[in-house]
Amino acid sequence: MPKFCANLTLLYNEHQFLDRFVAAAKAGFRGVEYLFPYDHDAHQIAEKLARHRLTQVLHNLPAGDWANGERGIGCHPDRVGEFQDGVDDAIEYAMTLGCKQVNCLAGIAPAAVPQEKLRATFIANLKFAAAKLKQADIKLLIEPINTRDVPGFYLTHTAQALDLIKEVGSDNLFLQYDIYHMQVMEGDLATTIEKNLHLIPHMQLADNPGRHEPGTGEINYPFLFNLIDHLGYHGWIGCEYKPLTNTDAGLGWIKPYFRR
């Protein structure tokens, strides 16, 4: 069955960041992901991972001023230098943490910038990042995100992501498939996963509506998990949801998979 990792940005957020690792391990998770490691010492995080026998599955490239609403700078023409510096930072952290893949958030499209310039900027940034990350043996991922949760986000559909991957032309650029975001934007989850599995090294989940744990909404997760298993998917699935009550109380859905 699929391997599930805990998203420490949304799960166990009642704890301080460095305390979330032990909480995830005690719950049975063997891998973790989160938005960003950059506010913490990489060696402290690595010690937490080693102590609790956790795999660092994924983190994002630096994404601008998150606290003030920025959600990535990949498509921002006036932030290319900052983006490139962020790639170096991400590589340094990922190598210390043993993390083999990082995600690039495209960002909210700046107002008054023509679509062709946004696309050209994002493609150039992805070419730069994919090449540098390949030298470090780290995969680069891009993730479509729904415009209900993040209005104005540049990358919003699977087809758009696949078109960008083709245009970049790198063998080190992949699709991060977030089941929740794509249920909101396009549906047709099973067919999309099956058709594009060769380009999907990482998935994320939450139910819809509400972005809570599986079983609280409309998505047939038992069906999807069986399909993903049947297709031979070997990547991780990040549990990136907001617990309906608290994290431990909402883990009933996953316990049967931990026992297999």
Query: The tokens 């805990």 sit on which residue?
Result: 6
- pLDDT on residue 255: 87
Within a 10 A sphere around the Cβ of 195, how many other Cβ atoms? Answer: 13
- Structure-block tokens of residue 56: 């660092």
111: confidence class by pLDDT, cuts 50, 70, 90: very high
Distance (Å, whole) CA 153 – CA 77: 15
CA atoms within 13 A on the CB side of 123: 15
pTM of the shown model = 0.96
57-69 pLDDT, tens per residue? 999 999 999 999 9
What percent of the chain shows pLDDT beyond 90?
Answer: 95
Residue 116: what are its φ and ψ, rounded to 5°? -65, -30
User: Catalytic pick from 82, 92, 143, 186?
Assistant: 143
84-102 pLDDT, tens per residue? 999 999 999 999 999 999 9
Residues 6+ apart with CB under 8 A from 176: 58, 103, 141, 142, 143, 200, 201, 202, 203, 204
3-258: CATH number: 3.20.20.150
Distance (Å, whole) CA 153 – CA 112: 14
In the chain, what are the domain boundaries? 3-258
Strand partners, 238: 5, 204
- pLDDT on residue 165: 98
Q: Which residues of 61-99 are buried (b: 16+ CB within 10 A; e: fewer)?
A: bbbbeeeeeebbbbbbbebeeebeebbeebbebbebbeb
260: confidence class by pLDDT, cuts 50, 70, 90: low
Query: The tokens 């699929």 sit on which residue?
Result: 2
Indicate if 92 belongs to the active site. no
216-233 pLDDT, tens per residue? 999 999 999 999 999 999
Q: Which of 132, 174, 145 is nearest to 71 (CA)?
A: 145
Dihedral, CA of residue 242, residue 40, residue 36 and residue 169, to nearest 10: -160
Indicate if 213 belongs to the active site. no
Average pLDDT over residues 26-46: 97
